[in-house]
Amino acid sequence: MPASANIPAIAQAYVSERAKKTLDLVEEFVEKECLPADPLYEEQIGHGEQRWNAHPAVIEELKTKARKLGLWNMFLPKSHFSQGAGFSNVEYGLMAEYLGKSRVASEATNNAAPDTGNMEVLAKYGSEAQKKEWLTPLLEGQIRSAFLMTEPEVASSDATNIELSIRREGNEYVLNGQKWWSSGAGDPRCKLYIVMGKTDSSHKDPYQQQSVVLVPAGLPGITIHRMLTVYGFDDAPHGHGHISFNNVRVPVSNLVLGEGRGFEIIQGRLGPGRIHHAMRTIGAAERAVEWLIARINDERKKTFGKPLSAHGVILEWLARSRIEIDAARLIVLNAALKIDQGDARSALKEIAQAKVLAPSAALAVIDRAVQAYGAQGICQDTPLANMWAQIRTLRIADGPDEVHLQQLAKRENKSRKDEVIAKLHWQRERANSLLSANGFQPKAKM
Ligand SMILES: Cc1cc2nc3c(=O)[nH]c(=O)nc-3n(C[C@H](O)[C@H](O)[C@H](O)COP(=O)(O)OP(=O)(O)OC[C@H]3O[C@@H](n4cnc5c(N)ncnc54)[C@H](O)[C@@H]3O)c2cc1C
């Protein structure tokens, strides 16, 4: 059954015929071209230091094929940008699910993080000159980029803590400080760092101390000290850099939007960007289910005389996985729809729901698949161990679960408490008058 026949019923009305055709093309491209190319990509990256200079040939071949099929820049929503492929967030959400099954598919179609969020920043907030210099080559897939916010010396989930100094001197900004978890900075094609720091650390409003500047990679004063691993995986050639800035100078024209507007920019960036991860995560979970089904029906590997699929507990894993994935998909598509109908700001609750639920659901699904494979599940012989490690990071990256949960709960509590308490009070009063009128003892007051 093609992907377009599997669109959840409640999303169908929001998907155009053109998007359905593209969705089917994405599915075919991922299943027939990208998934078989994943192992080749890993081999072409090579070993040792060579991994950080790699530019696997297969990725360029896939990019050429994807462009010919029209599978390019689907992430930029048509409601807010003219530079993309002209799809809504819901439509892209369905496509991103398939991209999330493969290691190479997102980059092959120019829908890979962190470039996607960075392109949104440039398209939304960049000056014409900044767009020409950076957005155009990013949209063309000619260069890559990194977003540098998190710092080793402060708790970065509270972005008011960010310390990197951006000091104005004449017509230049001078940057001093450290960043880490700068994803993508390991790639030799990464030419742009979008850096958040403080232009005015004494501003009375802590949300107006921050600014964002564009920094060409490789400027004097920039040192990449090391690449951080993800549960032991190096994620080369992309990588997660620990970088220092020592009197790095950029022209004032590299400032994005204006001094003190850094928060506005990161909030705009992390709206749809957060659900892109969630959308891809659903695809990774679907891939884990495929591997689970393959293992539990493996006739060579019976336990106690039966294939695993004949053991009730294992069938329950499959059933639970199906329920959890389908539920998470609806939450993710609902967030996408809410953004389509307004903007990321009006969909904060739905985005937080998707950001928290999708990785947790996928981790539970992948973990069951790992368990079904026994020891094989935790080694390099299946994609499951790497998938688990990648998705586990999403409970921290782009803000940890606890921060999203706290904000979600604060908003819900604030917006509902007065109405809920008044309603329950009224209902109790009404119940008591009904009880009294019918000769019964009223209940105690709330
Ligand atoms: C794979 C990966 C890729 C990343 N890529 C990038 C990138 O490209 N660019 C970038 O700038 N950053 C990136 N990050 C960093 C990521 O965004 C931060 O790690 C994240 O925001 C948390 O900040 P922190 O690590 O400083 O943790 P801290 O802020 O020190 O928080 C530590 C823990 O405290 C708890 N906590 C925090 N706030 C609360 C609260 N309000 N209530 C209860 N508990 C709380 C949470 O459990 C949290 O995990 C990446 C991280 C990972 C793992």
| Single-letter amino acid code for the residue at 382 | T
Q: Which residues contact 285 (CB under 8 A, 6 or more apart)?
A: 321, 324, 325, 328, 361, 362, 365, 366
> At 366, which helix (H) or strand (E)?
helix 348-373
**Is there a single domain that holds both residue 168 and residue 217?**
yes
Helix-helix angle 312-341:89-99, to 10 degrees: 140
For residue 410, being part of any structural domain is answered with no
DSSP per residue over 182-230, as a string? EETTTSTTEEEEEEEEES-TT-SSGGGSEEEEEEETT-TTEEEEEE--B
Whether 175 maps to a domain, the answer reads yes
Cα–Cα distance measured from residue 7 to residue 147, given in angstroms and rounded to the nearest whole number = 33
Give nearest CA residue, ligand 1 atom 38.
403
Ligand 1 centroid – CA 401 distance (Å) = 9
- Give the number of the atom of ligand 1 that is nearest the alpha carbon of residue 113: 8
- Does position 445 have pLDDT exceeding 80, yes or no? no
Residue among 396, 408, 411 whose CB has most ligand 1 atoms within 8 A, to mutate: 396
Q: Which among 71, 95, 112 is the end of a domain?
A: 112
Ligand 1 atom 24, closest CA: 156
Q: Give the integer Cα–Cα distance in Å for 177 and 186.
A: 19
Instruction: Assess whether the C-beta atom of 228 lies below 6 angstroms from ligand 1.
Output: no
Phi, psi of 185, rounded to the nearest 5 degrees? -70, -15
Same domain, yes or no: 307 and 233: no
From the CA of 149, give the closest atom in ligand 1.
Answer: 11
Residue 398 alpha carbon to ligand 1 centre in Å? 7
**Which atom of ligand 1 lies at the shortest distance from residue 146's CA?**
8
Angle, CA of 150, 278 and 156, to the nearest 5°: 15
- Cβ–ligand 1 distance for 182 under 6 Å, the answer yes
Averaged pLDDT, 223-236: 97
Specify if 16 maps to a domain. Answer: yes
More confident residue, 285 or 273: 285
Residues 393, 355 share a domain: yes
272 and 360 share one domain? yes
What separation in angstroms does the CA of 255 have from each of 128, 245, 360?
Answer: 13, 16, 37
Would you say the CB of residue 402 lies under 6 angstroms from ligand 1?
Answer: yes
On the question of pLDDT at 323 being above 80, the answer is yes
Express the helix, strand and coil content of the chain in percent, nearest 5 each: 55, 15, 30
Ligand 1 mean position to 396 CA, how many Å? 5
Report residue 3's pLDDT band, with 50, 70 and 90 as the boundaries: very high
Nearest to 154 by CA among 184, 182, 179, 183: 179
Question: Where residue 175 sits, what CATH number does that domain have?
Answer: 2.40.110.10
Q: What is the mean pLDDT of residues 251-278?
A: 89
Contact 284, 391 (CB under 8 A): yes
Q: Is there a domain that residue 316 lies in?
A: yes
pLDDT category of residue 204 using cuts at 50, 70 and 90: very high
Ligand 1: does its nearest atom lie under 6 Å from the Cβ of 118?
Answer: no
The confidence band for 229, taking pLDDT boundaries of 50, 70 and 90, is very high
Q: What whole-number distance in Å separates Cα of residue 371 and Cα of residue 363?
A: 12
Tokens linked to 416: 């509902």
Q: Which atom of ligand 1 is nearest to the CA of 154?
A: 26
Per DSSP, 356 falls in state H
Closest C-alpha to ligand 1, atom 35: 402
User: Residue 268 — very low, low, confident or very high, per pLDDT cuts 50/70/90?
Assistant: confident
Q: What is the pLDDT of residues 333-349, one digit of tens each?
A: 999 999 999 988 889 99
- Asked if the model's pLDDT at residue 80 lies above 90, the reply is no
- Across the chain, what does the average pLDDT equal? 95
CATH of the domain at 10: 1.10.540.10
Spatial contact of 266 and 196, defined as CB atoms under 8 Å apart: yes
Select from 181, 235, 363 the residue to mutate for testing ligand 1; criterion: most ligand atoms less than 8 Å from CB: 181
Domain of 297, in residue numbers = 264-399
The whole-number pLDDT of residue 78 equals 85
Q: What is the pLDDT of residues 25-40, one digit of tens each?
A: 999 999 999 999 999 9
**pLDDT tops 80 at residue 370:** yes
Residue 119 belongs to some domain of the structure: no
> CB of 403 closer than 6 A to ligand 1?
yes
- Contact assessment for residue 355 and residue 332, using Cβ atoms and an 8 Å cutoff: no
Q: What is the mean pLDDT of residues 372-394?
A: 97
pLDDT (0 to 100) of residue 5 = 97
Residue 275: per-residue pLDDT? 86
Cα-to-centroid distance, 357 and ligand 1 (Å): 17
CB of 397 within 6 A of ligand 1: the answer is yes
- Helix-helix angle 348-373:384-392, to 10 degrees: 150
Distance separating alpha carbons of residues 332 and 355, to the nearest angstrom: 8
- Sequence-distant (≥ 6) Cβ neighbours of residue 287 within 8 angstroms: 101, 383, 387
What is the CA(346)–ligand 1 centre distance, in A?
A: 24
pLDDT at 231 over 80: yes
Going by alpha carbons, the residue nearest to atom 30 of ligand 1 is 155
Residue nearest to atom 36 of ligand 1 (CA): 402
| Domain match, 241 and 282 both | no
Last residue of a domain, one of 112, 134, 165: 112
Helix (H), strand (E) at residue 422: helix 401-437
Which CATH number do you get for residue 284?
Answer: 1.20.140.10
Do 248 and 205 sit in the same domain of this protein? yes
Amino acid at 371: Q
Kindly give the distance from the C-alpha atom of residue 123 to the centroid of ligand 1, in angstroms, as a whole number. Answer: 26
Domain-ending residue, one of 188, 221, 256: 256
Task: Based on the fold, state whether residues 268 and 393 are members of the same structural domain.
Answer: yes
Q: Are residues 363 and 286 in the same domain?
A: yes
DSSP per-residue string spanning 242-306: EEEEEEEEEEGGGB-S-TT-HHHHHHHHHHHHHHHHHHHHHHHHHHHHHHHHHHHT-TTS-BTTB
> What is the structure's pLDDT at 18?
97
> Is 125 part of any domain?
no
Residues 249, 295: one domain?
Answer: no
One domain for residues 281 and 388: yes
Clarify whether residues 164 and 229 are in a common domain: yes
pLDDT of residue 20: 98
Distance 10 CA to ligand 1 centre (A): 34
**How many C-beta neighbours within 10 Å does residue 205 have?**
10
398 Cβ inside 6 Å of ligand 1: yes
Q: Report how far ligand 1's centroid is from the alpha carbon of 294 (Å).
A: 36
Number of independent structural domains in the chain? 3
Clarify whether residues 234 and 165 are in a common domain: yes
Q: Mean pLDDT throughout 292-300? A: 97
State the distance from the centre of ligand 1 to the C-alpha of 6, rounded, in angstroms: 35
Give the lowest-confidence range in 2-6, 51-55, 169-173, 281-285: 51-55
CA of 213 to the centre of ligand 1 (A): 21
CB 155 less than 6 A from any atom of ligand 1: yes
Pairing of strands 222-227, 165-169: unpaired
Spell out the residues 6+ positions from residue 96 whose beta carbon is closer than 8 angstroms to its own.
74, 75, 106, 111, 276, 279, 280, 283
**12 Cα–ligand 1 center, Å:** 36
- Number of C-beta neighbours around residue 5 at 10 A: 9
Residues with Cβ < 8 Å from 425, sequence gap 6 or more? Answer: 446
For residue 422, tell me if it sits in a domain: no
Instruction: Using the predicted structure, report yes or no on whether residue 44 has a pLDDT greater than 90.
Output: yes
**Residue 350 is assigned to a structural domain of this protein:** yes
